[in-house]
Amino acid sequence: EVQLFESGGGLVQPGGSLRLSCAASGFAFSTYAMNWVRQAPGKGLEWVSAITSGGGSTYYADSVKGRFTISRDNSKNTLDLQMNSLRAEDTAIYYCARDPGVVPIHYLDYWGQGTLVTVSS
Amino acid sequence: EIVLTQSPGTLSLSPGERATLSCRASQSVTGRYLAWYQQKPGQAPRLLIYDVSTRATGIPDRISGSGSGTDFTLTISRLEPEDFAVYYCQHYGSSPKTFGQGTKVEIK
């Protein structure tokens, strides 16, 4: 069974940093691209970032480019999102989601339950 | 970047009725790169349909997708109690993946 479990969310002050992690199990993690998608409270879905299966290429939404960094450790089956210079508008539930291909150009077939990030003073 | 506009914002229907949800793209979608997701309160989104009309694993055949070009439709032929939720369309095939703003299907 495919399972994705996010952790690392919490309360952080504006300008601060936070690192999210996603632990994957139940599938060959190293052969799938991965994504982060967020959802602000009461709002819709926003794609944030993606990474190829081998980690060699990364992609970002304009709203987070230069502030967030996606990475993965295929030896540990984990996906990370380093978030710096956080703003109030980054407040959201962050989901990790699997892309059924080696490059992240597909739909998202499995999602974790999400971790809440709150940026507030 | 393709912008997706969903309508209506809210659909009020009774169990057993037919639901028709629309997703309109700002430019033609190539390669059939259009998906639909369902989200219930407090839960993660769940993939329903990909490549415009292919049902994901375990999705019942009362749920179907159709469309081409800029106009796409998700149809639920007979609403079951578990179908009342928010539905999102998504374009993929390039970066950034974009989502529509969602349609809420509520019990009338």
Closest CA to A8 of A41, A36, A45, A28: A36
CB of B11 closer than 8 Å to CB of B54: no
Q: Give the mean model confidence (pLDDT) for residues B61-80.
A: 97
Span A89-107, pLDDT tens digits: 999 999 999 999 999 989 9
Contacts of A62 in chain B (CB under 8 A): 96
Mean pLDDT of B79-87: 97
Say whether pLDDT at B16 is over 90: yes
Task: Assign A27 a pLDDT band (cuts: 50, 70, 90).
Answer: very high
CB-nearest to A47 from B51, B93, B97 is: B97
Label residue B50 exposed, middle or buried (CB < 10 Å: 0-12, 13-18, 19+).
buried
Higher pLDDT, B87 or B31: B87
Asked if A45 and B45 come within 8 Å (Cβ–Cβ), the reply is yes
> Cβ contact (<8 Å) for B44 and A35?
no
Percent of chain B having pLDDT more than 90? 91
Residues of B in contact with A108 (CB under 8 A): 35, 37, 45, 47, 90, 97
Backbone dihedral region for residue A64 (phi beyond 0: left; psi -120 to 50: alpha; all else: beta):
alpha
State in Å, rounded, how far the first CA of chain A is from the last one: 40
Question: What distance in Å separates the CA atoms of residue A6 and residue A24, rounded to the nearest whole number?
Answer: 9
- The string of pLDDT tens digits covering residues A43-74 is 999 999 999 999 999 999 999 999 999 999 99
Phi–psi pair at B89, nearest 5 degrees: -100, 160
pLDDT at site B98: 94
